[in-house]
Amino acid sequence: MNVSVILFTADLRLHDHPPLRAALDGSRQVVPLFVRDPAVDRAGFAAPNRLAFLADCLRDLDTGLRERGGRLVVRSGDVVEQVLKVVAEADADEVHLAADVSAHARHRETRLRRVLEEQGVRLHVHDTVTTAVPPGALSPAASDHFAVFTPYFRQWSREPIRDTLAAPRAVPVPDGVGSEPLPSRTAVTGLSDGLAPGGEQAGRSRLTAWLRDGITAYEDRHDDLAGDATSRLSPHLHFGTLSPVELVNRARRAGGGAGAEAFVRQLAWRDFHRQVLAARPEAASVDYRTRNDRWRSVPDEVEAWREGRTGYPVVDAAMRQLRHEGWMHNRGRLLTASFLTKTLYVDWRVGARHFLDLLVDGDVANNQLNWQWMAGTGTDSRPNRVLNPVTQAKRYDPDGTYVRRWVPELAHVEGPGVHEPWKLRGLDRAATDYPEPIVELSEGRARFLRGRGMAV
């Protein structure tokens, strides 16, 4: 064999990378390729925060490849056309690609396979690059996929996980295959000021620190909003700068305590959502299990939610964290999603869209299916579950630190009283221009909605 092209997508790393390993084992030279496809922009998935993080990832990938004697080739245009061009320029006879589940990824794979076969070029699609357990590997007796997490997790836990692959020592890239300049983070406008840095190096440092300092306390502290004791590895999982297989292996070897187990369980949730989306690709935009909701159309309320001015401090704190960091604590994601879909009774697609516009880890499978879960149209076995924002605030931000961090209008209010500003008196009350609640609550839902929001 001669030359292989490796099409990098959501797997922007050199460690534990089966396509890269297979290509290097079978070929004299490889072309590491990334294609900036305008179809991704058109589909609305090119949010500034992710474009900036992606620019970091590509630079770091190029750096890693150069340390190994290679380089990254970046092209713009339709992904299939560009792969064909690079295959022709390099006279390649194989293309390697990571399997993925979004409609975009599946369409890309189908088109590539057809066009490459016409040219006599083999397409190799690799599992266990973007998931630890491949979608479709596990299924209950009566269906092609699991719709309930717990039985899925039982099987997932018994599934053998392959060994982590080392990063290659050398990556020989042929001359004469040109690259566009690498995109730069500074060229992206409209990104969050507190955005984390991207790239495999950044991801690996964070992972090492997490396994050393964070994971043991994960079970106890993961829901503590102010404690910020989650891994923050989600952007690296989204862009593939970290490998889910390596994360499972290293977390299990980290001692196997309750923290590590709880963390591995979250990685299983990620695989769970991927196997749902693989079986039901339309669930990215259609109710997985419809309850015939008649969602309200209330632009002013949605705008207040987006801007963090609902008058419910913990909701507003989380929405402002999202805008500032391009990231939100998972407990915040749950309670802000509950507020939009259950309290205001607004279509989950509106919320999912806003999250995808800002989240640096914005991921079709996780984002859409978690939104559906909270909206009651997904895989939740208790679809009527409503998270009361005040109860949630007192439970997960008991002294109000998280709210004071993100809502400066309330920074002067001490203690948990910050969660119910409408009860404040005297100076505390006078000193703030924080908005009144946009709706009054009854059992967590807007008062006038009581009894509605159920299936008809």
Partner DNA sequence: TGCTTGTTCGA
Partner DNA sequence: CGAACAAGC
Task: Give the interface with DNA as residue ranges (CB under 7 A).
Answer: 140-143, 146-152, 154-155, 266, 269, 289, 330, 370, 373, 380-382
CB-count exposure of residue 231 (10 Å: 0-12, 13-18, 19+): buried
Least distance (Å) from DNA to the CB of residue 355?
Answer: 13
d(C-alpha 127, C-alpha 443), whole Å: 45
Question: Whose CA is closest to 128, among 103, 104, 100, 106?
Answer: 100
d(C-alpha 15, C-alpha 68), whole Å: 13
d(C-alpha 389, C-alpha 386), whole Å: 9
Least distance (Å) from DNA to the CB of residue 157?
Answer: 12
Q: Write down the residue that tokens 């109000």 correspond to.
A: 400
Indicate the residue among 179 and 266 with the shorter CB distance to DNA. 266
d(C-alpha 428, C-alpha 413), whole Å: 6
Indicate the residue among 73 and 147 with the shorter CB distance to DNA. 147
Q: How far is CA 231 from CA 91, 188, 221, 259, in A?
A: 43, 26, 11, 11
Indicate the residue among 151 and 255 with the shorter CB distance to DNA. 151
Least distance (Å) from DNA to the CB of residue 266?
Answer: 6
Least distance (Å) from DNA to the CB of residue 335?
Answer: 13
Least distance (Å) from DNA to the CB of residue 147?
Answer: 4
d(C-alpha 50, C-alpha 355), whole Å: 12
Indicate the residue among 186 and 381 with the shorter CB distance to DNA. 381
Least distance (Å) from DNA to the CB of residue 267?
Answer: 11
Tokens of 186: 């500074």
Q: How far is CA 124 from CA 11, 56, 117, 171, 312, in A?
A: 15, 27, 11, 19, 51
CB 203 within 8 A of CB 241: yes
Indicate the residue among 169 and 382 with the shorter CB distance to DNA. 382
Indicate the residue among 4 and 392 with the shorter CB distance to DNA. 392
Indicate the residue among 149 and 339 with the shorter CB distance to DNA. 149
Least distance (Å) from DNA to the CB of residue 329?
Answer: 12
Tokens of 189: 């406008």
